[in-house]
Structure 1
Amino acid sequence: MEENNVLEERKIRLLGYIESAEYIPLRRKEIRQMISVPDSEREQFEGMVLELINEGKVVETKKGKLLAPKTINMSTGTFTGHAKGFGFVTPDEGGADIFIPANETAGAMQKDKVLYKVIRTGDKDKKSEGVIIKVLERGITRVVGLYEQSKGFGFVIADDKKIAKDIFIAKENAKGAVSGHKVVAEIINYAEERRNPEGKIIEILGHINDPGVDILSVIRQYDLAVEFPDEVYKEIENLETEVSEKDKAGREDFRGLLTITIDGEDAKDLDDAVSLTKTATGNYMLGVHIADVTHYVREHTALDREGYARGTSVYLVDRVIPMLPHKLSNGICSLNPHTDRLAMSCMMEIDAKGNVVDHKICESVIYSDYRMTYTAVRELIEDKTPALLEEFKEILPMLTMMNELRQVLGEKRKRRGSVNFDLPESKIILNEQGKPIDIHPYERSIATNLIEEFMLVCNETVAENAFWQEIPFLYRTHLEPDEEKLQRMEQFIRGFGYHLRKKDGEVHPREIQRVLLEAEGTEQERIITRMILRSMMQARYGADNLGHFGLAAKYYCHFTSPIRRYPDLQIHRLLKKMLHGELKEAETKEYKKKMPDIGKHCSKRERIADDAERDTDQLKKVEYMEDKIGEAFEGIISGVTNWGIYVELPNTIEGMVALAMLDDDYYEFDEKKMVVFGRKSGKIYRLGDKVTVVVAKVSKELRTIDFLFDDGEE
């Protein structure tokens, strides 16, 4: 009995010591000494520790150290690594990222779910600092990278530079790979202390210089599914190529309505068509007709499961990885001209001020009269090209009216404060071998703007309709900017003479719109736009209507692209159930329960697609500059950091001038003023400055372009 009391007392002292420790985690030896446990009772001590761990009163780290969860305010989050070894944790409960020093990562790798503790609270100029206590769940199991052979072993240098450590490959796990091969390695032992992770090669993609290997590496890196499972192909084996008369029954018939599609020249999945007439009272009657994909993609089928898993089509620089098989996306679901197609139509009556005064959402059958391109529509409206005016004389009056409505809707959005972030996208032209032969900004015109305005008003109308019907739904939400980012952005634009007015401490999107309009046409326009864009929150999908800050819209959703986005497809499904009176109480409850998870999943898949698209663009930009070493280009300073000055060329390519390469002075970075300055000369490099640079080095492996200022700049 007495022995049990001694053990219990020692157990309490053990727990008390761990809980009172200011810095965690603690070594077992240190604890044994503090509670006076002799070596002869070491086994008994380990038994007590095990009991406390099993009771949840003590946590054991991967390194075998001990800590008390009650007193150390531990939290969970996702780790993002950096090439230099340090990283950041994004807290699960939200809020600013936590900085993790390189020696406190506890072997955490990119995307790992971790348990962490904040040890130093940050302020407005500095992030909070923390330590990783334990890796709870590994985020990646495979790494794509470049294999480098050594004597008796090799390493895989990860393409993802957020993975700081190379992957060690034993000779027997190399699968015959040689230096220069791009490979996929499966991790078999994760990093601990200073050891590198260990892996085995499971796929050799080819040599780094082989055509197509660069894009294939990105596809593998993001684990993008290229082929569809056999069960999906089996489901669509007997899919009809034309709409049957049976399927047309019971639908609104808009085949007599002059209807057109407007897309890029190379578009194959035409999922939206438009029509426009005038009512007897002079209002516009805009029809936005969207392919009825859910008629063919039924719930709980293999096709639906695969569409959900992919979440979105991925538009890489040399190919499209579709969300749905081409038999649907380019066939029966594509609103091709001169053929009947099933659609979900949103018919909107819009007055002269751009207000939607009435609307109707319905299942329909349509007939597209013309397959128009952005180029042809722009030439018809702006250039009035004689040959095109003759060819398309039947639809010219409607196009003229569409241009009027475009301006009306644009003015309405402008009045309410909708923000237009007009940053140029890259148009990358490849030859048959996949090599880039030209890169320039993607052309935007009144034709692209026309379709944007029509789709925006349609998405808002559908979202508002769903909100007031109180049906389960997926909204497209965009929250107000983070306070910390907003302050940094304000400080930055103030340096250019721009100011944001606040009301009750909050910024209305109209104020951001005003600054962008003031900067329009100036040398700083692109820089101001980019800085404001970086301060914005990411838009995402969610079950709750939280509004869209950037569009200054109370209600917003994605309804117009069900061929390439799963949220749109899911919305169509819910709207059809509502139209058919199928959303009974039990089903409504079940859908409302599922919507938050569907929103999270689709948002995640969208981020992955964006990252993959950005990476393939960067690969081709780097490849394009490979044969331009020594050539000079004019550009503008697009970014300044404590390691370099980023310069963007007119063709959208960006490279960096390393501060270490500026040998005419010692240059420092002033984070508050966002400038780089010479300590002796006082020379300043600011965002938006025009500069001339020379291409110094291009690295396909690192996906980087190094510039030097020409002699006139230094």
Structure 2
Amino acid sequence: MVGRRRQGCGLRTWAVARLTGAATAAYGCAQCAPEVNAGHSLPGPTTMSVSRKSVFEVFRSHPSKAFRIAEIVNLSGAGKRERGEVREILQGLIREGRLVTAPGRRFALPAAAAVTAARSAKPRRSSKPAAAPAAAGRADRRLAPGMAIGRLSVHRRGFGFVRREVDGSTESAEGLPDVHVPHALLGEALHGDQVLIQVSRDADPKRPDGRVLSVVQRGLKQLVGRFHRLGRRGGLVVPRDQRLGRNVYVVAPPPADELPDGAWVTVRLVEYPAPPDDLIGEVIETLGDDQTPGIDILLVLRDYGIEQGFPAAVEEEVARLPAEVAAADLAGRNDLRGRMTFTIDGYDAKDFDDALSIERRDGGGFRLFVHIADVAHYVQPGAAVDAEALRRSTSIYPIDRVVPMLPEALSNNLCSLVPNKDRLTLTVEMELTKAGAVEDYRLYESAIQSQFRLNYRDVQSFYDGIDNPATARLKKIADDLNALLELKDILRTRRLKRGALDLDLPEIEIEFDETGMIENVVRAPRWESHQVIEECMILANEVVARHLRGAGAPLLYRVHDEPTREDIDRAGAMLAPYGIHLSSRSKKPVAAQIQEALGKAAGFDAPHIFNRLILRSLAQARYHPDNTGHFGLASPCYTHFTSPIRRYPDLLVHRALKEVLRKGKPARDWVAQWTQKLPSLGGHCSDLERRANDIETEATRICSLEFMRRRVGESFEGNVAGIVNHGLHVELRRYPVEGFLHVRDLHDDRYEFHEATMTLRGRRAGRVFRLGQRVEVIVHRVDVLTQEMDLRLALLEEQHPRRGGKLYQSRVRHAW
């Protein structure tokens, strides 16, 4: 039997090799997959009289038990003389991640090892019950030291990182660095799975390594891929997300007239065989082909499991809501419908969360009103619409569509502060001094009627003194708009003085023509009209956060941690060659150092490239019930209150504020209830915010590459945006799209990456590539599916080699 493949595997093996481009394919038929000898690789010759299957069957028959080697020899039917062969089989199963060692020189399945280790570990003193893995089978057992449970994120290059949620070596996994897992030690885990891992004892605590022991919970329930029919034997779906590394076999696909070859489909996974076998799934949705309008963005949404439609129970609830504000709902509210009020949003926005009113105070200063849609009035805890809003947690804006957190009847109508309609709001009324300090404030439930629906472009045109029909109608509120501009400057100056950071990182905008084709890719302008809204919302968020903290109400704060010493020094090392200094050993506060660094970067040819490097040294802002302050805003107490239509944390803050406004001091049972709930809610909302950002970034990247695909062969000027050992990331100047220039395509020399100077340097001629340096490149290849754009060097204003001990330069444009 040596060298022969199992009968029935040939057709799929050939198909996988053809569709994936693999030089060899060791995939077999799912129906004939052995339980132990997984992988369908050709069995090699062996002289062992005891089989891997018989050894592994010992553990399958007793999945919660750990065995000594003598017990395994006995139970597997091996003789004493075959003890060495059994030990060799056990070591092989450990290398594959199927078994692990347990205390007492025992061997066990990964889940059983966690329980065994926990039993033998000394009890730790703690006032908090420690969490235990679902795989262990009982909630009251702790993880052993060196083990952890977390969410696996797989990189496109095959390795993974696990963000720890529970760790056996500490009371809390919060703040612990992610654990790196090499590809060979991922076992059966897939991207997105919750896994039990073992952290290496010899690992660097700041950059730990580990291995996956078992899958606690599957994170991947469905995926998107391209369908290929395999004759009468079923079909194969090649996932769009290359991080999965495995294809999906479809046993009984729909007929060819319903599902053509090459179509994009959504697949529900039904079995997870051990690698390298294919996953097993069923087609649940045909999405279209490459020519289907909007297919690129639809694939992104489905790949993340996003559905735009709402469940029937939600639609039924919303249908019972009134079309307009009822007169009874106005009772007990401050009636501000007679006050001049307006909204300022994007020209295509429909969900208007916030509106403004302003007046100048006698003797100087301002009275500012920030009105926020009272979503909590309509979305009650326990309702189906609330459960769905929590599940979504945030609205998503992937270029050409919106996936709203709330149904449109609420988000675009009843809650949206549309003009000339009565709307229910929560108002923050603030008395501000000439210097922008909050002298007094009031928080209350209100009713407003917006008189103007303004957009950023028209307001900016008004500020720039442009006379056109759009700005002519703004003359009625000229005094209000000018007062807001003046207040913006005061608040912004005040905020920067206290240490807030101003990271100017322009967003990318995709412009479409009348037919829906992408017409242009541009950097979004950052206007003063944007800053007006930013400053007013930041101020309102701070006032609400301070008020609720003072009232003793539990809430989700928006927190942003100060960068660690390691993060600062890592960024400082990259920026030092360019004259930008950041150091954890400096006597200057970190915020002041970053402000100086941003100031120096502003004088460079491409300042946003250096701003991005600085940004990467900072932690991500998140939602948390403990107030640790917001480093980036230099705010000691901050929350999100101003966007309840599109962010669930804001809705929670509204509920807390209404509790305080109505009762003065929140009820004890209410405090206890929300104190218990908020930690998990904060993690959930932070995770889904990151997911939304990933979706929007990926959608923008796809549209940008779709636009650049029509420009293959054209040359563009760009700036070096990143340097790695195998090439250069280059951002085009005309279009803000990044591509990659591989060192293998720099034929004039052999180039080496110098980490200390963050340069790529030729060994022979000494040509140097630096961050921010201008280069002329040709768009060589664009692959929208893999989101890659390959570049070739067209023209470089080059550094000449050394001559006579001196460095001669010819028209070199440095980043500084």
Matched, 1:339 2:379: no
Deviation at 1:267, TM superposition (A): 1.1
Deviations 1:130-158 (A, max 9, x none): 22222222221212122345564654332
Letter in 1 for 2:754: D
Q: Is the 8 A contact 1:155 1:166 kept in 2?
A: no
Q: Is the 8 A contact 1:416 1:510 kept in 2?
A: no
Partner of 1:362: 444
Partner of 1:710: 794
Matched, 1:82 2:155: yes
Q: What are the equivalent positions in structure 2 for 1:439-450 lying under 5 Å apart?
A: 439-450=521-532
Q: Is the 8 A contact 2:228 2:237 kept in 1?
A: yes
Q: Is the 8 A contact 2:569 2:583 kept in 1?
A: no
Q: Distance in 1 between matches of 2:790 and 2:500?
A: 37
Deviations 1:593-628 (A, max 9, x none): 111122111111111111111111111111111111
Deviations 1:197-251 (A, max 9, x none): 3333332211133222221111111111311112222112242233222211211
Q: Distance in 1 between matches of 2:500 and 2:450?
A: 31
Letter in 2 for 1:135: V
Partner of 1:159: 240
Deviations 1:434-469 (A, max 9, x none): 431211111211101111111111111111111111
- Candidates 323, 326, 333, aligned match of 1:241: 323
Partner of 1:61: 110
Matched, 1:608 2:657: no
Q: Is the 8 A contact 2:192 2:220 kept in 1?
A: yes
- Candidates 102, 109, 112, aligned match of 2:190: 109
Deviation at 1:667, TM superposition (A): 2.0
Partner of 1:551: 633
Inter-CA distance 64–58: structure 2 relative to 1 (3 Å threshold) = closer
Matched, 1:146 2:226: yes
Partner of 2:212: 132
Q: Is the 8 A contact 1:261 1:371 kept in 2?
A: yes
Deviation at 1:54, TM superposition (A): 14
Q: Distance in 2 between matches of 1:420 and 1:583?
A: 37
Deviation at 1:178, TM superposition (A): 4.8
SS in 1 for 2:520: strand
**Bigger CA drift: 219-228 or 187-196?**
187-196
Deviations 1:643-688 (A, max 9, x none): 3311112322111112222222222323343322222222222221
- Candidates 613, 620, 635, aligned match of 2:703: 620
Partner of 2:373: 291
Q: Distance in 1 between matches of 2:795 and 2:473?
A: 55
Matched, 1:691 2:775: yes
Q: What are the equivalent positions in structure 2 for 1:310-389 lying under 5 Å apart?
A: 310-385=392-467
SS in 2 for 1:304: helix
Q: Is the 8 A contact 2:73 2:80 kept in 1?
A: no
Inter-CA distance 647–583: structure 2 relative to 1 (3 Å threshold) = same
Partner of 2:740: 656
Q: Distance in 2 between matches of 1:113 and 1:343?
A: 41
SS in 1 for 2:200: strand
Deviation at 1:504, TM superposition (A): 8.1
Q: What are the equivalent positions in structure 2 for 1:9-88 lying under 5 Å apart?
A: 39=79, 59-61=108-110, 73-88=146-161
Partner of 1:225: 307
Partner of 1:96: 177
Q: Distance in 1 between matches of 2:108 and 2:587?
A: 43
Q: Distance in 2 between matches of 1:40 and 1:434?
A: 75
Q: Is the 8 A contact 2:67 2:106 kept in 1?
A: no
Q: Give the TM-score of the pair, scaled to structure 1.
A: 0.89
Inter-CA distance 285–683: structure 2 relative to 1 (3 Å threshold) = same
Inter-CA distance 32–249: structure 2 relative to 1 (3 Å threshold) = closer
Letter in 1 for 2:739: G
Deviation at 1:76, TM superposition (A): 2.3
SS in 2 for 1:315: coil
Deviation at 1:379, TM superposition (A): 1.4
Q: Distance in 2 between matches of 1:391 and 1:175?
A: 60
Q: Distance in 2 between matches of 1:28 and 1:175?
A: 53
**Bigger CA drift: 30-39 or 415-424?**
30-39
Q: Distance in 1 between matches of 2:597 and 2:221?
A: 45
Q: Is the 8 A contact 2:161 2:179 kept in 1?
A: yes
Q: Is the 8 A contact 1:58 1:67 kept in 2?
A: no
Aligned length: 684
Partner of 2:808: none
Deviation at 1:503, TM superposition (A): 7.1
Deviation at 1:358, TM superposition (A): 0.9
Q: Is the 8 A contact 1:500 1:507 kept in 2?
A: no
Q: Distance in 1 between matches of 2:725 and 2:150?
A: 28
**Bigger CA drift: 427-436 or 541-550?**
427-436
SS in 2 for 1:180: coil
Q: Distance in 1 between matches of 2:650 and 2:782?
A: 41
Deviation at 1:286, TM superposition (A): 0.7
C-alpha RMSD of the superposition: 3.3
SS in 2 for 1:109: coil
**Bigger CA drift: 657-666 or 571-580?**
657-666
Deviation at 1:476, TM superposition (A): 0.6
Partner of 1:172: 252
The higher-RCO structure (CA 8 Å, 6+ apart) is 1
Q: Distance in 2 between matches of 1:538 and 1:30?
A: 52
Deviation at 1:301, TM superposition (A): 1.0
Inter-CA distance 710–354: structure 2 relative to 1 (3 Å threshold) = same
SS in 1 for 2:293: coil
Letter in 2 for 1:90: R
Letter in 2 for 1:670: H
Q: Distance in 2 between matches of 1:397 and 1:684?
A: 55
Deviation at 1:432, TM superposition (A): 5.5
Matched, 1:591 2:674: yes
Inter-CA distance 266–531: structure 2 relative to 1 (3 Å threshold) = same
Deviations 1:283-303 (A, max 9, x none): 211110011111111221111
Inter-CA distance 568–683: structure 2 relative to 1 (3 Å threshold) = same
Q: Distance in 2 between matches of 1:245 and 1:660?
A: 72
SS in 2 for 1:117: strand
Letter in 2 for 1:607: R
Matched, 1:462 2:511: no
Deviation at 1:56, TM superposition (A): 14
Deviation at 1:120, TM superposition (A): 6.4
Q: Distance in 2 between matches of 1:537 and 1:590?
A: 30
**Bigger CA drift: 425-434 or 354-363?**
425-434
**Bigger CA drift: 497-506 or 333-342?**
497-506
Q: Distance in 2 between matches of 1:497 and 1:53?
A: 53
SS in 2 for 1:545: coil
Letter in 2 for 1:631: E
**Bigger CA drift: 383-392 or 54-63?**
54-63
Q: Distance in 2 between matches of 1:332 and 1:467?
A: 30
Deviation at 1:371, TM superposition (A): 1.4
Inter-CA distance 506–297: structure 2 relative to 1 (3 Å threshold) = farther
- Candidates 663, 668, 675, aligned match of 2:752: 668
Partner of 1:213: 295
Partner of 1:472: 554
Q: Is the 8 A contact 1:635 1:691 kept in 2?
A: yes
Deviations 1:401-442 (A, max 9, x none): 111100000000110111122111111123465431211111
Q: Distance in 2 between matches of 1:671 and 1:146?
A: 40
Inter-CA distance 148–698: structure 2 relative to 1 (3 Å threshold) = farther
Inter-CA distance 328–416: structure 2 relative to 1 (3 Å threshold) = same
